[in-house]
A and B are shown apart, each in its own frame.
Chain A
C-alpha cells in the first residue's frame, strides 16, 4: 500500500481595521441595519468610482514587513469578474499579477517542538463582498429566496498566500494561529474569528512519500476557526487517501467544510470553475510606494509576538504561559506596556503575574477589556507598590482587585474603608499572637509533639483577630518562635 504525504497551502483573508472601507469613505464597522452602511461606490451604482484608502495600503505594507516580504514599489489593481448578488459591481477590485508584497516567510512552532519556516508567496489588497441571508432554509440548499446586505462590500482585505510548505493539519493550524496572532499584535486586524475578520481557504493534496510532483489538490473554503482548519484538512486527507487507495483519481474541486459532520462536500468542480477574466483596473492608476514611506512604516513595526515573548520570559522571569497571555491579547499587552513605561521601581515580574492572573480574571468577569474597565494604570501601579512594600497582603490585594475593576477606586480608597494597611510590625502582632496562644493550649501541645501544620490553624486565628491585615508568613514565624519558648 502506497504511503502518502500531505501537501497543504493556506490562503488567509484578513479584514483590515481601518476606519473606512477600501474604496469609499463609509465606516468600516460591523453590525448596522442592513444596507445602511453604503454609498454609491459600495452599492455599485452607475457612475461611481473607487478611491483607494491610504491606511489600508499602510497596513498592507506593515503586514508585509512583519511577514518578511519584499514590498513592491509598484503594484497594480485588477478586476476579478463574476456574477453574484453579494458583488454589486459584478467584479471585485483585487490585485492579480502585480501584488503589493512578495516572497515572505514566518516560522511556526511544531507540535513536537522546534520551528518550521513557511514561505509566503504573496500578499495583496482586495475588497470584501456583501452578505447573503438565505430564507426558507439554513443554508443555500433548499432556500426559497435570499436577502442581500451590502454593508460589508468594499471592507478592506489582505489575502496572504502561503507556499504549499505545510505538511499536516497540525502545521496548518499552527500556521494560522501564528499568523492570526501576528496580525492582531501589529494592530492591522482585530482577529475576531466569530465575526469573520480572518478566514482561510485550505488547498490540500497528497503524493507518494518522496515524490517530487504535486498531486491534484482540492480547495476547502471559508474556514474560520483554529479547530475547523485542523479538522477540515484531516477530513479531506482521509477522503483523498480513501479515493487513492481504491485506485481512484482526485478531482480538482472546491469544497465546503461542515463542522457538525466534520466532513467536506463539493461546492464546485473544475469544469464549472470561473473564468475571472482578470484585467488591470482602469479606474485606478498603479499604486506607487516610496522607499521612504516603507521605512517610516518599518519604524512602526513592533517586536513580533514570539520575539517579544522570549524577551519577557528572559527579562522578567515569566514562564511560557504567563508570557503567552501577555502577548496573546493586544489589549492586555498594551496595558502591560503602558504600565511598564510608568512603573518606576515596581517589579515588572510582579506586575506581569498580577495582570495575567487575578486582574485578567476580574476583568473577564465584568465582561470588560483592560481598555474599557475602570482599572486605571495609576491605580494598578499603586496596588503593585503596596504589595511590594508589604503594606498589604496578597489576600487583601485579591479582595481589592474586583472592586478596583468595577468601581475604579484606588487601593488607598479601599484601605481607608477596610481599615488599615497590612500589619508587619512584630510589636503590633504580639498581642494577637498571645491571645490566640492562650486560647488554644491543646493545639500548642500538638505542635510541640511535632505536628507543625497545626500552626496554620493558629495563624488563621491571628488573621481573624487582625481583620486579615496581619502578614501571614510573619505571623507563622512568630507563632512557632513563641511556642519554642513555651
Chain B
C-alpha cells in the first residue's frame, strides 16, 4: 500500500500546483490529519444506498437548438493574454489528449 505521503505528492502534481517543498510538507501533514477524520464515515451504514449525486430528482430542461449570442465580445474585458485574436501560451511539451 503506497504511503499517503507519496500519494499526496502525486496529487499535488496532478492538481497542477507548484509549491515549495516546505509548503508541500505542510499540506501533506495537514491533509493526513484531515483524511484521518474521514474514517468516521465507515461507521455509517450505507448498504443499499445509492450514490445518486443529485439533490433532488427532477427532469432537466433541454435547450432549443437556436442561435443566440447575447453576451457580445466577452474576451474584451480581460485582454491580458491575448495576442491579436489568440490566447498565447508558452511552449507545450507533449500533448494533452
Chain A residues proximal to chain B, CB less than 8 Å: 18-20, 25-27, 33-36, 38-40, 43, 45, 51-57, 82-87, 129, 132-134, 140, 143-150, 256, 267-268, 272, 275, 279-280, 282, 284-288
Residues of B within 8 Å of A33, CB to CB, are 85
Bound: A362/B60 CA distance, A: 49
Residues of A within 8 Å of B97, CB to CB, are 82, 84, 87, 129
Q: Binary interface profile of B, 61-97, with partner A (CB < 8 Å = 1, else 0)? A: 0111111110100110000000111111111111111
Q: Say yes or no: B67 contacts A132, CB within 8 Å.
A: no
Q: Say yes or no: A280 contacts B65, CB within 8 Å.
A: no
Bound: A143/B96 CA distance, A: 15
Q: Say yes or no: A19 contacts B66, CB within 8 Å.
A: yes
Bound: A34/B53 CA distance, A: 37
Q: With contacts A35-B75, A39-B74, A82-B97 known, is A147 near B83, CB below 8 A?
A: yes
Q: Say yes or no: B92 contacts A284, CB within 8 Å.
A: no
Q: Let me know if B22 is at the binding interface, CB within 8 A.
A: no
Q: Let me know if B45 is at the binding interface, CB within 8 A.
A: no
Bound: A55/B93 CA distance, A: 38
Per DSSP, chain A at the interface is: loop
Question: Closest approach, in angstroms, between the C-beta of B26 and any C-beta of chain A?
Answer: 24
Bound: A35/B87 CA distance, A: 9
Q: Let me know if B16 is at the binding interface, CB within 8 A.
A: yes
Q: Say yes or no: B85 contacts A35, CB within 8 Å.
A: yes
A55 contact from B65, B87, B92, Cβ within 8 A: B65
Cβ-closest chain B residue relative to A254: B95
Residues of B within 8 Å of A57, CB to CB, are 62
- Kindly name the residue among B65, B67, B83, B92 whose own CB sees the greatest number of chain A CB atoms within 10 A: B65
Q: Say yes or no: A53 contacts B88, CB within 8 Å.
A: no
Residues of A within 8 Å of B23, CB to CB, are none
Q: Let me know if B39 is at the binding interface, CB within 8 A.
A: no
A25 contact from B53, B59, B67, B86, Cβ within 8 A: B67
Number of A-B pairs whose CB atoms are under 8 Å?
119
Q: Say yes or no: A148 contacts B87, CB within 8 Å.
A: yes
B89 contact from A85, A150, A284, A286, Cβ within 8 A: A85
Bound: A56/B94 CA distance, A: 32
Q: Let me know if B44 is at the binding interface, CB within 8 A.
A: no
Q: Let me know if B14 is at the binding interface, CB within 8 A.
A: yes
Q: With contacts A143-B91, A145-B91 known, is A54 near B71, CB below 8 A?
A: no
Bound: A288/B62 CA distance, A: 10
Q: Say yes or no: A53 contacts B65, CB within 8 Å.
A: yes
Cβ-closest chain B residue relative to A16: B65
Cβ-closest chain B residue relative to A272: B94
Q: Say yes or no: A20 contacts B67, CB within 8 Å.
A: yes
A-B contact pairs, 28 of them (CB 8 A): A18-B65, A19-B66, A20-B66, A25-B69, A27-B69, A35-B75, A35-B85, A35-B87, A52-B63, A53-B63, A54-B62, A82-B97, A83-B16, A84-B97, A86-B96, A129-B97, A133-B86, A140-B92, A145-B88, A146-B91, A147-B87, A148-B87, A149-B85, A256-B95, A280-B53, A285-B58, A286-B60, A288-B59
Residues of A within 8 Å of B67, CB to CB, are 19-20, 25-27
Residues of B within 8 Å of A35, CB to CB, are 75, 85-87
Given contacts A85-B87, A284-B60, 8 further A-B contacts (CB under 8 A): A26-B69, A38-B75, A85-B89, A145-B90, A147-B86, A148-B89, A275-B14, A287-B60
Residues of B within 8 Å of A52, CB to CB, are 60, 62-63
Per DSSP, chain B at the interface is: loop
Cβ-closest chain B residue relative to A275: B14
Residues of A within 8 Å of B86, CB to CB, are 34-35, 133, 147-149
Q: With contacts A25-B68, A285-B54 known, is A146 near B92, CB below 8 A?
A: yes
Bound: A384/B84 CA distance, A: 55
A148 contact from B63, B74, B88, B93, Cβ within 8 A: B88
B74 contact from A38, A54, A134, A267, Cβ within 8 A: A38
B63 contact from A40, A54, A144, A282, Cβ within 8 A: A54
Q: With contacts A87-B96, A285-B54 known, is A43 near B75, CB below 8 A?
A: yes
Residues of B within 8 Å of A84, CB to CB, are 96-97
Question: Closest approach, in angstroms, between the C-beta of B57 and any C-beta of chain A?
Answer: 8
Bound: A351/B57 CA distance, A: 55
Question: Closest approach, in angstroms, between the C-beta of B56 and any C-beta of chain A?
Answer: 9
Bound: A426/B58 CA distance, A: 80
Question: Closest approach, in angstroms, between the C-beta of B61 and any C-beta of chain A?
Answer: 8
Question: Closest approach, in angstroms, between the C-beta of A73 and any C-beta of chain B?
Answer: 12
Residues of A within 8 Å of B94, CB to CB, are 140, 267-268, 272
Bound: A134/B92 CA distance, A: 9
Cβ-closest chain A residue relative to B15: A83
Q: Say yes or no: B91 contacts A40, CB within 8 Å.
A: no
Q: With contacts A45-B74, A147-B86, A285-B58 known, is A19 near B65, CB below 8 A?
A: yes
Question: Closest approach, in angstroms, between the C-beta of A248 and any C-beta of chain B?
Answer: 24
Residues of B within 8 Å of A268, CB to CB, are 94-95
Cβ-closest chain A residue relative to B72: A39
